[in-house]
Structure 1
Amino acid sequence: MPDAIVPSVLNSYVRDWNMSPGLEHDGFVFMTGFTGSNENGHLSSDPREQFEHAFEKVRLVLEEAGLGFEHIVEMTSYHVGLREHLELFKEVRAATVSEPYPAWTAIEVAGFVRDGAVVELRCIARRT
């Protein structure tokens, strides 16, 4: 049976959306896609801040599971305006992940549920 991973600051995912921020099954942690709003729900117009907040949510789920960024095996990032901010996203990502780097796919999308969001970040981690 999968185990939900719900850091307290992400309780709204369960309460408002009926989804777990993370779900562990057979040593893998599958994460919900995280947009770049801060813990108060504010969504900055600055892409860098959005990227940093999305990675922060991933960190919260990893820590709740007793893991770190080194446990991420796959990352998918969805972007509005991918070409305009890919280099900036790569900078923020490079400051977070380390070798061996996770597999990564970046995808351009038309938009997200939340107006103004420019990124959604989804990761899979594995216990070693």
Structure 2
Amino acid sequence: MMPRALCPTGLSAPVGPYSHAVLGGEQIHVSGLLALAEDGSLVGANDAEAQARHIFALLSRILEGVGSDLRHVVKLTFFLTDLQDRFALNQVRSEIFGEWRPASTLVQVAGLIGDGTLMEIEAIATLAESPVS
């Protein structure tokens, strides 16, 4: 199967030459997501918990669009401007994923696009037909 670009409705339009996600074989590679509303405005400016919740909701929407879901996420990469925000992020992540612990990387960065943007999250998931054991 040739890779297929995914740009689901309900997400802000990509700024630049990229797709929100790409389906390649049994994997879904999701570009870094920011807490942006469909109109491009920032959700939860300077609020790490609100941004994390919004980003995970966007990730869920992308995965559901190809018949997958958050239970099939195998890798997460977090980019934070302030490492103190990891506490709010981890709280939200624990609520969403429960006992499932995808592989993860957390990186502190000097800045992200947009004032008040605290985090960016990218992910790799499998299609729902590909059981994770």
TM-score normalised by structure 2 residue count: 0.86
Unaligned runs of 5+ in 1: none
Matched, 1:101 2:105: no
Unaligned runs of 5+ in 2: none
1:32 is paired with a residue whose SS is strand
Q: Distance in 2 between matches of 1:100 and 1:94?
A: 9
State the superposition RMSD in angstroms.
1.5
- Match of residue 36 from structure 1: 35
Question: How much has 1:117 moved relative to structure 2?
Answer: 0.7
Higher percent of residues as helix? 1
Q: Which deviates more, 113-122 or 91-100? A: 91-100
Question: How much has 1:40 moved relative to structure 2?
Answer: 3.2
Alignment of 1:1-128 (within 5 A): 1-10=2-11, 12-13=13-14, 16-43=15-42, 44-82=45-83, 84-127=84-127, 128=130
1:7-52 deviation digits (Å, cap 9, x = unpaired): 1122611xx4221111011110000100122333332222211111
2:104 is paired with a residue whose SS is strand
TM-score normalised by structure 1 residue count: 0.89
